Amino acid sequence: MQGLIDALTPQETAEQERQRQDIAFFEQNSGDAEKACDPLIEREAKYDWLWTDSIFFDRPFDRHRWADEDKKLILYSGDDIAFQTSVGTWERMSYHCWYDPQTKKAQKVSVTAGRLPPLLVQNE
Alpha-carbon distance values, 27 to 59, 62, 75, 110 (Å): 10, 10, 12, 21
Query: Are 46 and 87 spatial neighbours (Cβ–Cβ below 8 Å)?
Result: no
Domain range annotation of the chain: 34-116
| Average pLDDT of the chain, as a whole number | 86
Q: Are 81 and 49 in contact (CB under 8 A)?
A: yes
Regions of the chain short of the pLDDT cut 70: 1-11, 54-59, 120-124
Nearest to 77 by CA among 59, 101, 51: 59
Q: Residue 118: what pLDDT? A: 83
